Every structure is written in structure tokens, then in C-alpha cells.
Structure 1
Amino acid sequence: MMRIDSHQHFWQLARGDYGWLTSDLKPIYRDFLPDDLAPLLQRGGIGGTVVVQAAPTVAETEFMLSLAAQESFIRGVVGWVDFETRSAPQQIAAMAQDPKLVSLRPMIQDIADVDWMLGDALAPAFRALIDCDLTFDALVKPPHLKNLHTLLTRHGDMRVVIDHGAKPQLHDGTLDGWANDMAALARDTDAYCKLSGLVTEAGTGWTVDDLRPIVDHLLDTFGPERLIWGSDWPVCTLAASYGDWLDATDRLLSALSQSDLDAIMGGNAVHIYKLEE
């Protein structure tokens, strides 16, 4: 089974639509493009990736799709559409004509209203996403999880991936609410969850033991059959190198069988995103 990085980013600062990416984030405040990632993939034995939007614009999605047309290792693109606009269903249908578009991701974590995802005006966009056979990437934090449960109950036929384990608050140890809400999502819905972004949440100085309770809980609730590995490169480099996170993953998953490892490290991404073999 090919190993797949299900969550990585590219950006080009001159494009000008990455509002969150400022000079304060000095280590990642530069262009990151396929030539930067290719050697890391080779060293890590990663055969393909899914590149994920980092700006809330259709133009950035088109930029990523153009990269995917040039780079064979890019197996899929998670894009962005304004779900609130009346033309969202038409835009989604048009973008879905590109076979490399596999999912859409509103930047919910950056929307002040935690109830936003439940707004009636968004229903046509969710319906279009489902009708176009796309996946929904849920970029959420712990305060969003109860609403996400409601959303997924409304749209039981929607394929869903929860990004970055819903960003548990590793830095202060406030995990009980997150753990309960994630367990409910795993129990009551068919959502998948990304094993990604955890080192960034833990911050510099993290250890494998810091991450183990989170990973063990996700394994216990979602199971190896619904977890998918991602690097969150280059954002992860704020706290760890690509190789550091791969090494930590190997240690965190060392008790699993080879078939379970193959699922988390590639097979589940192929399934949930319907990537071409």
C-alpha cells in the first residue's frame, strides 16, 4: 500500500490571500512549493499527498489544482468555496469537474460564530458537496464539536474528515470535553479523523508521551479503520520537522498490526477521498 500524506499545504506569498500568514510566523513566512516537499516525501517513503487549502478563496483552490496537474505525487486537493453565497452549488459542481478535487474545507476555526455551520443558508452547499461525491474536511476546534455532531446527524450521507483531531488543547491539558465529544462523534457518525497537526498544538518542546493520550484516545474511539495520517507540513515545522513527526508516528503506532498501519498511513485516505489507485 502506498503511504500517503493526507494533509499538506503549498503557498506563494505574492498571491496575497493568506490572511493568517504574517511575518510573525517567521519560519513559515516564505513560499512553500512542490520542490520543497519532494525530497522530504522521498526520505519518508511517502508516495502521494493531499494538498489542503490555506486561504479562503476560489483562486487559491485553482492554484492548487494547477499544481496538481503538474505534480504526479499530488493525489488530491481539498479546496474552498464560500458556502454562504447563493452560487455555491453551481461553483461546487463546476470545480468538481476536476478529478483532483476531492474535498472542500470552510475555515470554520476562524469563524467567530460557533453556530455558523448550522445555518440554514449553508444547506444547499452541503447538498451540492454530497451530490458531487466530494468529502467535507471539518477544520474545527473543541468548542465546535457538539455542533459538528448535529451537522453530521443532519447530513448522514456526507463523507467527513475531522482535521487535526479537532485541535485538542494539549498546551493546558484541558481534554475531558474534547475526549467526550470526539467519542460521541466516533460512536454516532461515520466521520474519519486526521492524525495530524498535534505537534503544533503541543508546541515546541513536545514529547511523544505528550501526544500519546490523544493518539490512544483516537485509536480507541475511531479505530485504525477511521484514522488517516497527515503531516500538516509546512505548518508542522513550527514545532517539528517532517521526519520528526514521522518518527513520532512510528512510535505512537508501534503496537498496531501491519494492516492497521497500512490503513492509517494510506489506505484510509484512498477510501475517504476516493483517490485513484
Structure 2
Amino acid sequence: MRLDSHQHFWKYNSEKHSWITEEMKVIQGDFLPDDLIPILKEHQIDGCVAVQSDESFRETAFLCDLAEEYEQIKAVVGWADLGSDALDKELDQFASQKKLKGYREILQSKPVDYMLRKEFIRGIKKIGKRGYTYDILIFHTQLEAALHFVKKAPEQPFVIDHIAKPNIKLGIWREWKKEMAPLAERDYIFCKVSGMITEADWKKWKAKDLEIYLDVALELFGPKRLMFGSDWPVCKIAGEYEQVLEVIERFTDRLSKTEKEAIMGNTAAGFYGISTDS
């Protein structure tokens, strides 16, 4: 099964999506399944994982509703306030949503020690007991804190989004590799090769700019813990879906058939509990 492990849907609202600045004007609009599905079909991609972009229960409900309507949405990564004392009650509201496979928070916009709070760790353990995964969205500057974070929940399946957003624009990778390595040593941590072109020079990036980061990710995590994600429509800031896919296709072409299939879908299917027969 070929899967896009990371993309977003939204109905654009200038207040709710205030993070979409004027220089990101290309994504100031609605992006819904009917826009993405033709692209998936064109590239023989069987389905996608819809990931939250707004921190609200309304967002989780919105994505779950879309997943019920469109069979190509194989999984949903929603949002929950993990530090809330009412977390159990809030999780109960979505317990019947079979395609809701995990949760995420926009940690990249939070203080470095936000994820180390006792109540946040308590919340991580609660979602873990319910069988949910957790997407870690951080900048490379938060990797040290992320290591302390994952050590506190060794039973929890984690995936690092966008290879932890290294500074690709400036070609900085050695320190990023050093800080990623101890995370990769833990077999319950996975990594998405996604969101890379938006960390590069939006106007001038080339596939070769990404090669060292892909090589390091493969070296550290191996194909069985890497998964392709387009980060559509955010990727449109720097390039089209086809350009993102081509980079990963070429990168995986040098691998064995089994290894390529892992990165292009099987790893994500296993991580998110998606049936390869669906």
C-alpha cells in the first residue's frame, strides 16, 4: 500500500489560520479531499493520513467527518489538550471514531519545556493506554527536550514530523544529526521524511539540497521507521505535490523493493494501524 502519511485539510479562515502569512498566500484558501484525491490517484497513492493544523476539538471532529465520507483518508491525527484535567472525558467523545489513530499538538510554537510538564506527560500516557500514536512537531532546536520527553513514555509510539525541521536553507545538518541520533536509538520512535522543501529556500531549493538530510534519516532510522509525507498543501509554499513525491521516489529507488515499499506506505500503515487490504 502506498500512503501519504502527512497532509492537511482546511476551510480557510484568516483568524484561525493566522500562521498563514502573506508570503504564504498560495495556501490562503480552502484545501479539501476533492482537491487532493485526484493527485493521489494520478500517482497511484492509495490513501493519506489527515493531520490536524488547528488546535481545537472542532478540528478533530472536522477531520473525522471527512474520513467517514472519503475512503481515501485512511487515518486521522487529531488534537487534544493533553495537559487538561478533563482529558479522559474529551477523549471519550471521539472513542467511537475508528479512523482516529493519534494526536498531535503544535509543539514547535510552544516553550521548549512545554512537553516536559507533568500534566503533559500524564496525558501522553493516557492516550497511549487507549492505543493512540503521537506525532511530535518540533524544530531542530527542541530535539534535546524531545529526548527527555520520549524517555518519560517508553511505551508510547512516537513519530517525528518533518525530520524535526532542520535548517535546510542554510545547509546545517551535523548538529541536527547529533541530536536526532539518541532519539533514533529508541525503536518506538519513527520519523516522517516530510516538510523538507519548506525548510529549504522556497524559491531556489534543489533536490540535492535535501540529499544529506534524507541520507542521515535513513542511516539513523532505517526504512522500517521512515514514512513518506507530502505535507500538502503547506508544501505548495515551495513546490507542488509532484516535486515532493519525486524527491522521495528517487531517494527510495536505490533501495530494495521491500525497503522502498516500507517508506512509501507500509511503515505508515503499521504505525497508524491501517489495514493494507483497505
On the 8 A contact 2:50/2:63 being kept in 1, the answer is yes
Corresponding residue of 1:101: 100
Q: Are 1:134 and 2:96 matched, yes or no?
A: no
On the 8 A contact 1:17/1:56 being kept in 2, the answer is no
Q: Are 1:212 and 2:214 matched, yes or no?
A: no
Q: Distance between the aligned counterparts of 2:15 and 2:87, measured in 1?
A: 23
Post-superposition shift, 1:16? 5.2
Q: Are 1:21 and 2:20 matched, yes or no?
A: yes
Post-superposition shift, 1:127? 1.6
Corresponding residue of 2:244: 245
How do residues 156-167 of structure 1 correspond to structure 2 at under 5 angstroms? Answer: 156-167=154-165
Matched residues, number: 275
**Aligned residues: CA RMSD:** 1.4
Secondary structure of 1:225's match?
helix
Can you give the 5+ residue segments of structure 2 that lack an aligned partner in the other structure? none
Corresponding residue of 1:60: 59
Corresponding residue of 1:174: 172
Secondary structure of 1:67's match?
helix
Q: Distance between the aligned counterparts of 2:222 and 2:23, measured in 1?
A: 37
Corresponding residue of 2:273: 274
Report the TM-score when normalising by structure 2.
0.95
Corresponding residue of 1:123: 121
The letter for the 1-side match of 2:81 is D
Q: Distance between the aligned counterparts of 2:99 and 2:14, measured in 1?
A: 21
Runs of 4 or more, structure 1, over 4 Å off, are none
Corresponding residue of 1:191: 189
Post-superposition shift, 1:143? 1.4
Corresponding residue of 1:82: 81
Report the TM-score when normalising by structure 1.
0.95
Gap change, CA 1:124 and 1:157, over 3 Å in 2: same
| Segment of structure 1 superposing worse, 40-49 or 174-183 | 174-183
Q: Distance between the aligned counterparts of 2:275 and 2:187, measured in 1?
A: 25
The letter for the 2-side match of 1:208 is A
Corresponding residue of 1:148: 146
Gap change, CA 1:16 and 1:275, over 3 Å in 2: farther
**Could you give the per-residue CA deviations for residues 95-114 of structure 1, whole angstroms, max 9, x where no partner exists?**
23211111100110011x10
Post-superposition shift, 1:12? 0.1
Q: Distance between the aligned counterparts of 2:4 and 2:18, measured in 1?
A: 25
**Could you give the per-residue CA deviations for residues 133-188 of structure 1, whole angstroms, max 9, x where no partner exists?**
00000001111111111111110000000000001100112222211111111114
The letter for the 1-side match of 2:248 is T
Corresponding residue of 1:226: 225
Q: Distance between the aligned counterparts of 2:17 and 2:81, measured in 1?
A: 15
On the 8 A contact 1:17/1:57 being kept in 2, the answer is no
Corresponding residue of 1:255: 254
| Segment of structure 1 superposing worse, 232-241 or 169-178 | 169-178
